[in-house]
């Protein structure tokens, strides 16, 4: 599944703003911490721009947040699928877990 730029921009912008406000930072303060213009930060929060990968990493570092906290909603279905599969495997016997592991290894090879 390919995500549209608009989905990425909106998700990043909404989460960035929420985290920034929770940390009681102004846009000016955060922009200064990551060495970008306040206007660029406003555009990212409004979902108009993404910024560079370097900017994204610097935002994560400045806010002391993992990248997934800024993009969580984009991956929630994949996370739920993985959790669902893990919970199913966990209820298997050790013997059956080994069979599943061998099946997966054979499918990958």
Whether residue 31 contacts residue 46, with contact meaning beta carbons closer than 8 Å, is answered with no
Q: Per-residue pLDDT tens for 35-84?
A: 999 999 999 999 999 999 999 999 999 999 999 999 988 888 777 888 88
CB within 8 Å of 27: residues ≥ 6 apart: 20, 38, 41, 42, 45
Whether residue 46 contacts residue 27, with contact meaning beta carbons closer than 8 Å, is answered with no
What pLDDT does residue 4 have?
84
The neighbour count for residue 99, using CB atoms within 10 Å, is 12
Start-to-end CA span in the chain (Å): 24
Whether residue 78 contacts residue 68, with contact meaning beta carbons closer than 8 Å, is answered with no
Is the pTM here over 0.85, yes or no?
Answer: no
Q: According to DSSP H, which parts of 1-109 are helical?
A: 5-22, 27-34, 38-45, 53-63, 67-90, 94-108
Classify residue 48 by its DSSP letter: S
Structural domains of the chain, with CATH: 5-108 (1.10.260.40)
What pLDDT does residue 81 have?
82
């Amino acid at each position: 599944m390919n995500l549209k730029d608009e989905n990425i921009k909106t998700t990043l912008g909404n989460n960035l703003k929420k985290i920034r406000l929770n940390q009681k930072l102004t846009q000016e303060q955060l922009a200064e911490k990551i060495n970008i213009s306040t206007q660029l930060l406003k555009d990212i929060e409004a979902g108009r721009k993404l910024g560079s990968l370097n900017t994204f990493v610097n935002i994560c570092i400045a806010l002391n947040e993992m990248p997934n906290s800024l993009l969580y909603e984009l991956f929630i279905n994949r996370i739920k699928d993985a959790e669902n599969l893990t919970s199913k495997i966990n209820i298997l016997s050790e013997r059956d877990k080994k069979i599943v592991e061998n099946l997966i290894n054979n499918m990958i090879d």
